[in-house]
Every structure is written in C-alpha cells, then in structure tokens.
C-alpha cells in the first residue's frame, strides 16, 4: 500500500487561473480531508469528503471546491487563483469515525 | 475559535539533553490531542495521541487539563529526532474541521 498519494507534486499557475489537485486515499479509507499549509504555518483545514459529499468546511471562500469519487479518491479545485493561494496542499485520509489521519506528501502550488 | 498554540518556532538542544516541546490549547470540553511529526523530505505523520498514553520513539506527552497543556517530552534527544513537530487537537464539527494544528516547532538536535 503506497499510502496516500497526491498529484502533481509541484504546480506553477498564474493569477486568475484555475487548478485541480488530486488525491488517492490509503487503501480501506473512506474519508478525505484537504488542508492548506502556508509557509511557516501549520496545516489549515479546507474541507472533508465522505460518501461523495462535503461533510465539513473550513473558513475558505467558495473559490475552493472539491469532489469525491466512488473509489474514494478526491479532487480539490481552486478558481480565480490569488497570490495568497500559494501553499502546500495536503490531503489526508481516514476512516470516518477514526481520529487518526494519514497524510499525503502534498502538492506545492505556486501562483505568480 | 478553538486554538492550539506552540510558543516556540525553533528549539535547539544537544544530543543526550532532555527536550520539551510546548503545546497549549484553548479549553473546550475533553479534547483529543495529538502530536504529528514531519522529518526532512517526508510526509506529516502521527507521532502519538494522548488517549493511547503510549511512548513512541521515546517521546511521551501528558495532558494537563488544569494548564490546558499537552507538552511533548523526551529525556535524551537523538540527532534523528530533528524535525518539525505539530501539536493538534481534534475538533467536533464546526468550521475548523477535524484537526486544528499549531504553527509547529522545529526541533534541532546538535551532535
């Protein structure tokens, strides 16, 4: 089991563009959470998906949206990119009732 | 809003010295607290959680409800302990999601 995988590893976008990040959860996990980690900060919760629905959402604008597929993989979409969206985006998977989350390696997004 | 505070951005100790990484949380009921670690060029991983009361890699952490603290301790630091350490608490519902993280403390263990 490769654990949680994310793609791409790095991404450079221009202000105003749109981006899609992908995540495959650890085998057997049904819940995916997304976090944004700005430089020098701890991860900040964006949203969580379970059974293809958004269950919880953090304080992020509607420009951030997501999706979960029947195979539990997930996408994070960000529209109208701002310079401030530059960060490491982490995906974490878990079982719904479990406290323990397994993190992926992250996608480094740079907005120029 | 619930908060997790790690007052030290950087902690530098010599090999064999005791280490304590501080974590304080805002009070709200019975918190579920965790320490996550990120070694250089590796992913964030769970180090320990207070509910299991176990010792991982020689690290322990005790929940002190009176002081709302969950400090991470190790009696004798090793060079391989050098990493970023994040304290986190589980949050039930609300807009802050499942895990609220502190800003992290970088531990540097010198030979």
Q: How distant is the alpha carbon of residue A9 from its chain centre?
A: 12
- Show residues of chain B in contact with A47, CB under 8 Å: 97
What is d(CA A54, CA A88) in angstroms, rounded to the nearest whole number? 21
What is d(CA A18, CA A81) in angstroms, rounded to the nearest whole number? 6
Residue contact A42–B103, C-beta within 8 A: yes
Residue contact A101–B49, C-beta within 8 A: no
Residues 6+ apart with CB under 8 A from A58: A44, A45, A46, A47, B95, B96, B97
Give phi and psi for A83, each to the nearest 5. -55, -35
Measured in angstroms, the CA of B70 and the nearest CA of chain A are apart by: 17
What is d(CA B67, CA B25) in angstroms, rounded to the nearest whole number? 9
What is d(CA B77, CA B80) in angstroms, rounded to the nearest whole number? 8
Sequence length of chain B is: 111
**CA distance from start to end of chain B:** 40
Instruction: Answer whether B104 touches A (CB < 8 Å).
Output: yes
Instruction: Answer whether A90 touches B (CB < 8 Å).
Output: yes
What is d(CA B16, CA A108) in angstroms, rounded to the nearest whole number? 35
Measured in angstroms, the CA of A78 and the nearest CA of chain B are apart by: 19
From the candidates B51, B91, B99, B102, which should be mutated to test the interface with A, based on the most A CB atoms within 10 A?
A: B99
Per-residue pLDDT of chain B (111 residues; tens, 9 = 90+): 778 999 999 999 999 999 999 999 986 667 889 999 999 989 999 999 887 777 788 999 988 888 899 999 999 999 999 999 999 988 766 554 578 899 999 999 999
Residue contact A47–B97, C-beta within 8 A: yes
CB atoms within 10 A of CB A26: 20
A31 pairs with which residues across the strands?
A50, A94
Per-residue pLDDT of chain A (112 residues; tens, 9 = 90+): 779 999 999 999 999 999 999 999 999 999 999 999 999 899 999 999 999 999 888 889 999 999 999 999 999 999 999 999 999 999 999 887 777 889 999 999 999 9
């Amino acid at each position: 089991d490769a654990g949680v995988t994310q793609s791409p590893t790095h991404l450079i976008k221009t202000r105003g563009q749109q981006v899609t990040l992908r995540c495959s959860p650890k085998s057997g996990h049904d819940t995916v959470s997304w976090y944004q980690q700005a430089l020098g900060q701890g991860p900040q919760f964006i949203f969580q998906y379970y059974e293809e629905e958004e269950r919880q959402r953090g304080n992020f604008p509607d420009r951030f949206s997501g999706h979960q597929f029947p195979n539990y993989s997930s996408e994070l979409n960000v529209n109208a990119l701002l310079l401030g969206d530059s960060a490491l985006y982490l995906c974490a998977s878990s079982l719904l009732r479990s406290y323990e989350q397994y993190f992926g390696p992250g996608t480094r997004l740079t907005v120029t | 809003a619930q908060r997790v505070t790690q007052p030290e951005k950087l902690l530098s100790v010599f090999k064999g010295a005791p280490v304590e990484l501080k974590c304080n949380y805002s009070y709200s009921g019975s918190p579920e607290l965790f320490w996550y670690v990120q070694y250089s060029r590796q992913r964030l991983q769970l180090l320990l959680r207070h509910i299991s009361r176990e010792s991982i890699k020689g690290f322990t952490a005790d929940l002190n409800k009176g002081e709302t603290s969950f400090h991470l301790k190790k009696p004798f630091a090793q060079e391989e302990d050098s990493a970023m350490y994040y304290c986190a608490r589980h949050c039930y519902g609300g807009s802050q999601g499942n895990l609220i993280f502190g800003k992290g403390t970088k531990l540097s263990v010198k030979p």
